[in-house]
Structure 1
């Protein structure tokens, strides 16, 4: 009989509270589901306030967690954590060091942050039930340069931080608008010195002088249409693909992870650049690509018999009611994906189990602070989540079969 190796993937875990002390059966069912996997993976969407201390480096979207939340994730059955995200640097380098220390103390496989760039870019590696697993985790921002890890150089010490996939936001405008913008720049006397000052604390962005104009931090590109796009730094991408390739050659099933906040106006729309990066990671050898971006469940695509999870939404989402943008029901709904691989490392099937974040088995609550833990969804909730996921994924060529409150892709 062929031995199957199962990897469980979930939405991001923005966790601020210890959620172990509950006898809620619907929550226990989620734990039971994760325990079926040989390797369970989530993104730890926070930074640890530990013995290294730190200082808040954000305004209202600041967040940190006490080390005990990692015990909650361990108790839930998680083996691996991506640490590269927009909250990883909320306490600065001190938070990076505390997070590394506490994650390693609990034996998690992890990737995405480090004492310097070389360490942050390194794949996390481990062995689970006789199978090698590797994780390469990146963050594409947007974020200030100083949140990203840096190697030491002459007269410059190393900087603990996040593993960066370098992107630049660009606004496309037509030729007429481009000429107006250039005229405005010249009339107000906006110079390279002004750009350098406005870019602080970052370095000034690279700009094509013939086809791009940068005023303050906004880059405008001459195009045939209006729109927004991101420009991928190929040197940065090549470095990450090399790490994926190396981990694959070492014999591991490689999870390529990306976190980003370059969302489309419609949160359900997948930006084409994410697909380009996902497919490049798989071409380099990754067994799957997992991403968290817009805080909702986005489609799954199968590329070269390997899954691309464009956004798995939220699994644990501890936020406050005063933040009104998190009230849409879709923000609190997602799936747990159980990905089955054969002995040759080929994907054979994915089972999707719908989850909804609530306060208790009685259902949704008005106060966001009460929605502490994910429950397996049943009945009309399960049908709604899976049918929406099925329809979105079909547009990417993925055919999901829904049976008895779960969905499946067979390859």
Structure 2
């Protein structure tokens, strides 16, 4: 049997290859390994927010929106924003006997949420300015507005229960407490109040949580330190070391009204004081502030950043107007 072979036509083969190449390339790409997961969860933390005195005047005439309008776009880029609420949000007028007494209107809770705030730290020396009833209604108004209160509860167990945030498998727990002795206020364990744990109670609550949530990043927000001091105390530094040893991922502090250094203990960033945020103090140093920005990555790492703020007539303004997360 005789076979007759047609001569090989390279031009025909080349044409067919060109036709098939896009399909071949698509097949190869579909077989390549999936792209690495680069999910992140970003939480912003602000210093003291006071909606009374001069800031009250601004809020009543220009609105809460105006006070926050420079930072709201940044807030909305974050997954959560934790602000230290330095006043009760209540229509209850029942002031305790102390030197500085604050109160803000309950209706402003909704405006704070609209500005981008998702969590309010209540464990400080002013949310109790209108007594326990004022404290209770503050937590109620925040919750109704969609803002989660931190460091508040009917007993120490509730007060030391952290807020939990989760995104794409990244988990963060935020504790809030104060180490201060508060003027004309006593801790009553089975009454509504703020988190005022002893150092041992704070550390034990964190260690216990860590035992049951080993894959969760823990952030501790502390109202601590000495007002207008530029540096943390020896006691604060010692507590920060213990928190690092307990497995805390980051510490964010306020109360001094001025900025204090950012330190790193092991891999744990410590913002000893991020200063004021919405406040009408005239001290020039009290007008310099920062937002602590913590970005948790899906590979388990943490990026700690600070965003510089200048406070003008009580209003926080970004120093870098083009700042993004």
Q: TM-score, normalised by structure 1?
A: 0.62
Q: Which 5+ residue runs of structure 2 have no aligned equivalent? A: 1-35
Change in 2 beyond 3 A, CA 1:270/1:48: same
Task: Tell me the distance in 2 between the aligned counterparts of 1:123 and 1:351.
Answer: 22
What residue is the counterpart of 1:104 in the other structure?
143
- Match of residue 96, structure 2, among 57, 62, 66: 57
What residue is the counterpart of 1:344 in the other structure?
299
What residue is the counterpart of 1:307 in the other structure?
269
Q: CA deviation at 1:129?
A: 6.1
Residue pair 2:274, 2:292 contacting (<8 A) in 1 also: no
Considering Cα pairs closer than 8 Å and 6+ residues apart, tell me whether 1 or 2 has the greater RCO.
2
User: Computing the radius of gyration over CA atoms, which structure comes out larger, 1 or 2?
Assistant: 2
- Match of residue 148, structure 1, among 171, 177, 187: 187
What residue is the counterpart of 2:125 in the other structure?
86
1:11 is paired with a residue whose SS is strand
Give per-residue Cα distances to partners, 1:338-367, cap 9 Å, x unaligned: 2222103311x3333221112xxxxxxxxx
What is the alpha-carbon root mean square deviation over aligned residues? 2.8
What residue is the counterpart of 2:64 in the other structure?
20
Does residue 43 of structure 1 match 2:84? yes
Q: Which 5+ residue runs of structure 1 have no aligned equivalent? A: 152-158, 167-232, 320-325, 359-370, 383-404
Count of residues in correspondence between the two structures: 281
Residue pair 2:97, 2:184 contacting (<8 A) in 1 also: no
Does residue 160 of structure 1 match 2:192? yes
Change in 2 beyond 3 A, CA 1:148/1:75: same
Change in 2 beyond 3 A, CA 1:138/1:75: same
Q: CA deviation at 1:243?
A: 5.1
Does residue 255 of structure 1 match 2:291? no
Task: Tell me the distance in 2 between the aligned counterparts of 1:303 and 1:106.
Answer: 37
- Segments of 4+ in structure 1 off by > 4 A? none
Map 1:345-364 onto structure 2 (within 5 A): 345-347=300-302, 349-358=303-312
1:330 is paired with a residue whose SS is helix
Residue pair 1:316, 1:373 contacting (<8 A) in 2 also: yes
1:255 is paired with a residue whose SS is strand
Residue pair 2:64, 2:108 contacting (<8 A) in 1 also: no
Map 1:63-78 onto structure 2 (within 5 A): 63-78=102-117
Residue pair 2:89, 2:109 contacting (<8 A) in 1 also: no
Map 1:280-295 onto structure 2 (within 5 A): 280-295=242-257
Change in 2 beyond 3 A, CA 1:67/1:126: farther
2:286 is paired with a residue whose SS is helix
Residue pair 2:170, 2:296 contacting (<8 A) in 1 also: no
Residue pair 2:44, 2:293 contacting (<8 A) in 1 also: yes
Residue pair 1:109, 1:125 contacting (<8 A) in 2 also: no
